[in-house]
Chain A
Amino acid sequence: MSTRPPRARRSGSAARSALLRNALWGGALLGVFAFAVITPRAAAQVRERPPLREVPRDSLLVLPPVYGTTDTSRVTAKPVGLREIIRRCVEGERTRLAGHDDMTYTLTVRTALRWRSRKEVRDAVFRMYADADGFARTVQLGENLRKYKRKDDSWVPDDDEESGSKGRVRVESDGYSDFVEMPFFLEEQQEFDFELLERTIEVDHVIFKIAFKPKSSFKPLPSGIVYVDTDAYRIIHEEFEFEQNPFPMFVKDIGRISRHWGELPGGQWVFTKMMMEVELRGGWTGFMPEHVAVALYRDDFEFDTGYDSRIFGER
């Protein structure tokens, strides 16, 4: 039978040293605890600090509003797959302008036609209206044409050719409507294969980079890359290209096509610019341009101002 020897009584200095050592251990552990536990919780509260929200009450029971904050809660969910991302994109695009009744903006279409020895740059200005009922109205206001000729290796204004601006007024219905139109790859998903390429984290939200291409090698549909902001599953940037030439008899090559999106001061996401370049066949005739570049600029956005018949004519 073994017996444990009695612990020797410590001297006074040894006891103080042990007390100090234990205190330091405790402090270190407390520090680690504070770093490992308190910090993320506090950070989460800082990050997710919701506004004071009013708890809904039964209307019969009149009580002063109760304000409070939500505790951080642990939620488990399946990872969001590509199919779910696409579904949310469709929903996000459908509700992109929810809450607005109509929108008005200015569209400027810049077209640059280039022959071997001359070039034309044409600006056409439109005032556009669209409402949530699907009605759209386009008013073309004028065109500005500038002509250039090649001199050495640069383009100089062609004084021999008539340039200038003219009011070309045309009122048309059923133009493009942000309330109705959806990106074609979401509208006709069955035609495309999608692939999630990568994600980018922007501080507190994620941006997905998604590629799509036509299922068939023979359909003249564009393939492309889109960027989706998971804030509201909105498309924030698009780039397209054609693997199958859609107009093989007239077009040699369709270069890059892209659509830029931007957030307005009111929080609405709208596409603000679209650009494309095309190489045409038949440039040797001198009649057909060899190269065409087109850009659409949209600005002066206004929402919920109503239909102005003075600007757009009788509805």
Chain B
Amino acid sequence: MRGPAVWAWGVCALVGIVFGVFSASAGFAQTAPADSVRRGDLLKKLQRDDTSQFESDVTAFDAAFRDSVLAALDSLGIDEFRKQNRRRPWRLGLSFDLATRLWDYNRSEGFVFGGGMTLEPLGIDGPWLQLQGAYASGSEKFRHYEGLSIPLAPHGYLTAQVHYEDRVVPYGGNRPTANSVRALIGAEDAQDYLRRRGGGAYLVSRPQRYVRVSAGYEASKQTNVPLTTKFALFGGDLPRINRPVREGIERAAVLGARVGDLESALWQVTVAHRIAGGALAGDFTFNRTDVDYAVRRYLARHELVLQGGWARTGGNVPEQAAADLGGVEMVRGFDRRTQVGTSELHARLEYLVPYDVFRAAKIPLLRRARLQLVPWADAGRTWGGTRESWLTSAGIGLQYFLGPFGRASFLRLDTSFPMGPDRPQDVRVDLRFAAGLF
């Protein structure tokens, strides 16, 4: 038995030596780990599989047209190429959408039918002129707005802006989004209005992505406007609006700054300061400082949004510039301008429930509605007014996503429970638009 065992060991040893030496010298150990693939194979497979899921119209690409226009551009240059295609360098755009400054509905002006245009005589990087005009069905007046923006430095670093307007504008701190829709449908006009005729000139700078600074001068004549319209699709006891303002000419220096961005940077602070009268003359002599802040934070999946503001006034402040509190955008559950004083402070905290509670609970009809729950709490008070007490309220909102339309991204039904001895009612329900933070 010894002979075969010796030979067996001998063969093993030779194999071991040969394998070991050869593998070391020939780089055999470059062999990849057992679960690896060749370089680039994964990417090719991913792209191949992905492309197969799209229809052929967008996966097959004929480069003939692209090559022809590129060749023409290379031979002619952009100026000659543009001439040959008979395109004008300036742009004219018409706008008849809801975003214009005049297209609106309120109980002072009724329907404000209008349109506008934007003119860019020197191309996209040059100055642009915005013209808007409209006819107000209630007051039977022609309203208009003209604005000119002149870039003084590239990339929006510095821009000069001038505007002139004759229109009816809201005043006060409560500014519900798309208030006109609420007024037209639900007769819930939650703003007061005055007529402003005048203009202003500003320098606006955006030195960084999340920084905007402006300084300017405004002069306008402010007058009361009567109520002319009662129409609403689903009317009721219409709330009284347009408390009288002090009429006169306002000349003011305005300073403003905004830092941060609530959507991207998760926080935002806006500061505005207004000095009227004094050396600037005019009928009003006052100053007002506003600081607004907004912060949002995630705690795991749970998003909390804190918003608030502080305002302080000094001098002989007209009613339309006083610090006020109350309304669906300030302290919910209380009417707008419940408190009016020389200064005010308010805060709102909302918790955006990330789970689809109704779907999880399998509640009939609601489980497919994609309704989001938003518990919230508001608080605020004024100083220097007739009533000085904290206004507090809490409640729960139910919101439905409409689309990425900025401050009107959600349709929100807020059920408010005002607190304290001054509460006007025990429960209040508001339908409004709410901003989306995406």
The distance from the CB of A270 to the nearest CB of chain B, in whole angstroms, is 14
A220 interface neighbour in B18, B32, B438, Cβ under 8 Å: B438
Given known pairs A42-B27, A218-B401, the reply for A310 and B301 (CB within 8 Å) is: no
The distance from the CB of B120 to the nearest CB of chain A, in whole angstroms, is 11
**B38 close to A (CB within 8 Å):** yes
The distance from the CB of B222 to the nearest CB of chain A, in whole angstroms, is 37
Given known pairs A27-B17, A31-B15, A236-B43, the reply for A248 and B401 (CB within 8 Å) is: yes
The distance from the CB of B371 to the nearest CB of chain A, in whole angstroms, is 9
A239 interface neighbour in B21, B40, B50, Cβ under 8 Å: B50
Central interface residue in B9, B58, B70, B298, by most chain A CB within 10 Å: B58
Among listed B110-118, B137-145, B352-360, interface-contacting one: B352-360
Q: Which residues of A contact B356 (CB under 8 A)?
A: 217-218
**A46 close to B (CB within 8 Å):** yes
Give bound CA distance, A227 to B41, whole Å.
13
**B65 close to A (CB within 8 Å):** yes
**B237 close to A (CB within 8 Å):** no
Evaluate contact between B53 and A31: CB separation under 8 angstroms. Answer: no
Give bound CA distance, A144 to B55, whole Å.
19
Evaluate contact between A24 and B10: CB separation under 8 angstroms. Answer: yes
The distance from the CB of B411 to the nearest CB of chain A, in whole angstroms, is 11
Give bound CA distance, A108 to B61, whole Å.
9
The distance from the CB of A121 to the nearest CB of chain B, in whole angstroms, is 6
Evaluate contact between B43 and A312: CB separation under 8 angstroms. Answer: no
Q: Which residues of B contact A40 (CB under 8 A)?
A: 29
Central interface residue in A27, A30, A39, A312, by most chain B CB within 10 Å: A39
Among listed B79-87, B166-174, B272-280, B283-291, interface-contacting one: B79-87
The distance from the CB of A60 to the nearest CB of chain B, in whole angstroms, is 42
**B14 close to A (CB within 8 Å):** yes
Give bound CA distance, A247 to B436, whole Å.
13
Q: Which residues of B contact A313 (CB under 8 A)?
A: 78-79
Evaluate contact between B372 and A218: CB separation under 8 angstroms. Answer: yes
Central interface residue in A33, A168, A201, by most chain B CB within 10 Å: A201
Given known pairs A127-B73, A142-B69, A275-B54, the reply for A168 and B85 (CB within 8 Å) is: yes
Evaluate contact between B50 and A258: CB separation under 8 angstroms. Answer: yes
Evaluate contact between B70 and A32: CB separation under 8 angstroms. Answer: no
Give bound CA distance, A207 to B33, whole Å.
14
**B426 close to A (CB within 8 Å):** no
Among listed A1-9, A64-72, A73-81, A186-194, interface-contacting one: A186-194
Evaluate contact between A169 and B87: CB separation under 8 angstroms. Answer: yes
Give bound CA distance, A211 to B175, whole Å.
40
Evaluate contact between B401 and A220: CB separation under 8 angstroms. Answer: yes
Closest residue of A by beta carbon distance from B263: A188
Interface residues in B41-65 by Cβ distance below 8 A to A read 41-43, 46-47, 50-51, 53-55, 57-59, 61-63, 65
Evaluate contact between B47 and A169: CB separation under 8 angstroms. Answer: no
Q: Which residues of A contact B51 (CB under 8 A)?
A: 275
Give bound CA distance, A250 to B87, whole Å.
32
Interface residues in A202-253 by Cβ distance below 8 A to B read 202-204, 207, 215-221, 227, 236-237, 239, 244, 246-250
The distance from the CB of B365 to the nearest CB of chain A, in whole angstroms, is 17
Closest residue of B by beta carbon distance from A207: B42
**B125 close to A (CB within 8 Å):** yes
Among listed A51-59, A91-99, A133-141, A280-288, interface-contacting one: A133-141
**B124 close to A (CB within 8 Å):** yes
Q: Which residues of B contact A204 (CB under 8 A)?
A: 32, 39
**A34 close to B (CB within 8 Å):** yes
Q: Which residues of B contact A215 (CB under 8 A)?
A: 298, 300-301, 303, 354
Evaluate contact between B6 and A17: CB separation under 8 angstroms. Answer: yes
The distance from the CB of A117 to the nearest CB of chain B, in whole angstroms, is 16
Mark each residue of chain A from 24 to 47: 1 if its CB lies under 8 Å from any CB of chain B, else 0: 110110111111001110111011
The distance from the CB of A248 to the nearest CB of chain B, in whole angstroms, is 7
**B402 close to A (CB within 8 Å):** yes
Q: Which residues of A contact B72 (CB under 8 A)?
A: 141, 167
Evaluate contact between A247 and B28: CB separation under 8 angstroms. Answer: no
Interface residues in B164-189 by Cβ distance below 8 A to A read none
Interface residues in A143-184 by Cβ distance below 8 A to B read 144, 165-173
Evaluate contact between B27 and A237: CB separation under 8 angstroms. Answer: no
The distance from the CB of A150 to the nearest CB of chain B, in whole angstroms, is 14
Q: Which residues of A contact B13 (CB under 8 A)?
A: 24-25, 27-28, 30-31
The distance from the CB of A301 to the nearest CB of chain B, in whole angstroms, is 13
Q: Which residues of A contact B352 (CB under 8 A)?
A: 216, 218
Mark each residue of chain A from 247 to 289: 1 if its CB lies under 8 Å from any CB of chain B, else 0: 1111000001010110000000000000101000000000000
A43 interface neighbour in B12, B20, B29, B154, Cβ under 8 Å: B29
Closest residue of B by beta carbon distance from A272: B47
Given known pairs A188-B264, A295-B59, the reply for A142 and B65 (CB within 8 Å) is: yes
Evaluate contact between B38 and A203: CB separation under 8 angstroms. Answer: yes
Q: Which 4 A-B pairs have the closest CB atoms?
A: A31-B16, A43-B29, A34-B20, A167-B85
Q: Could you show 25 A-B contacts with beta carbons less than 8 Å apart? A: A27-B13, A27-B16, A30-B16, A31-B13, A31-B17, A32-B16, A35-B19, A38-B20, A42-B29, A43-B29, A47-B30, A106-B66, A134-B155, A135-B154, A142-B65, A200-B37, A201-B37, A202-B42, A218-B401, A220-B404, A220-B438, A248-B402, A261-B43, A275-B51, A311-B74
Beyond contacts A169-B85, A204-B39, A215-B354: 6 other A-B pairs, Cβ-Cβ < 8 A, are: A31-B15, A42-B29, A46-B30, A200-B42, A256-B54, A293-B58
B interface list, Cβ under 8 A from A: 2, 6, 9-10, 12-21, 23-25, 27-30, 32-33, 35-43, 46-47, 50-51, 53-55, 57-59, 61-63, 65-66, 68-70, 72-74, 77-79, 81-82, 84-85, 87, 123-125, 154-155, 264, 266, 298, 300-301, 303, 352, 354-356, 370, 372, 401-404, 436, 438
A interface list, Cβ under 8 A from B: 17, 20-21, 24-25, 27-28, 30-35, 38-40, 42-44, 46-47, 106, 108, 110, 112, 119, 121, 123, 125, 127, 134-135, 139, 141-142, 144, 165-173, 187-188, 190-191, 193, 200-204, 207, 215-221, 227, 236-237, 239, 244, 246-250, 256, 258, 260-261, 275, 277, 293-295, 297, 300, 310-313
